[in-house]
Structure 1
């Protein structure tokens, strides 16, 4: 496809979105609230694609090419509004996402969570049966009183 770059970063998208809005004098409309509401609208459009389908197999083997293309368009809309919202709010989305992955690794230690779908607040980290890993409690805000300083 012409014009599509390989290895696009969040920063690339952020710059493109900022330039797109500036060229059209849309910054006046891109308040955090408006962008969030637009994002929610796009998530709604994305969810409509899956509505009434039941479970869908990974890779979407039963989907037509046109359906996959439509899905890609809606996923892109969600991503672009999310990137624009983070930029307007002054949040480095890449760094925030990496930090969240670190927090999730603490909240969901492999030895306690593998194959388990419980929320981290339902996992008794203090009764770690393997004797290794994190010991202590993990609170709903992500803070701990663990013995290993995590």
Structure 2
């Protein structure tokens, strides 16, 4: 999703909120709490399923719809948090990707699920290089 699409969605979310005069209720604490509750609803769809069952759920139109609705709820709250905190979400995401590229260079991380601290230790570097 390009940053222009993020902006477009964010503007629509803010308009939806403002038309209902809900900004008064949207403290950072309440928004962050709501984000986590929505993420838990996403988790609830897969809580007792194994990996294969989750993959089947995602391929099933009704399952995909349910997962999509919960993903959208998470995104809505994420956009509201970013706006309230003055975070440029697109810039923050690009910065985080650049940081992750430094932490997980392809030469060390390719095919590995280890955390960057273990990768560096195994490679004999500190990460300060």
**TM-based fold match above 0.5:** yes
**Contact 1:42-1:78 within 8 A present in 2 as well:** yes
Deviations 1:24-50 (A, max 9, x none): 010000111111011000000000011
Output the CA distance in 1 between the equivalents of 2:58 and 2:23: 41
Q: Which has the higher contact order (CA 8 A, sep 6+)?
A: 2
**Contact 2:6-2:90 within 8 A present in 1 as well:** yes
The question of 1:9 aligning with 2:5 is answered yes
Output the CA distance in 1 between the equivalents of 2:115 and 2:56: 27
> Gapped runs of 5+ residues in structure 2?
none
Q: Matches of residues 53-72 of structure 1 in structure 2 within 5 Å?
A: 53-56=49-52, 60=56, 63-72=59-68
TM-score using structure 1 length: 0.76
The question of 1:117 aligning with 2:87 is answered no
Output the CA distance in 2 between the equivalents of 1:42 and 1:25: 21
Higher helix proportion (structure 1 or 2): 2
Q: How many residues align?
A: 127
The question of 1:100 aligning with 2:89 is answered no
**Residue 61 of structure 1, CA deviation:** 6.9
**Aligned residue number for residue 126 of structure 2:** 137
- Give the CA RMSD over aligned residues: 2.3
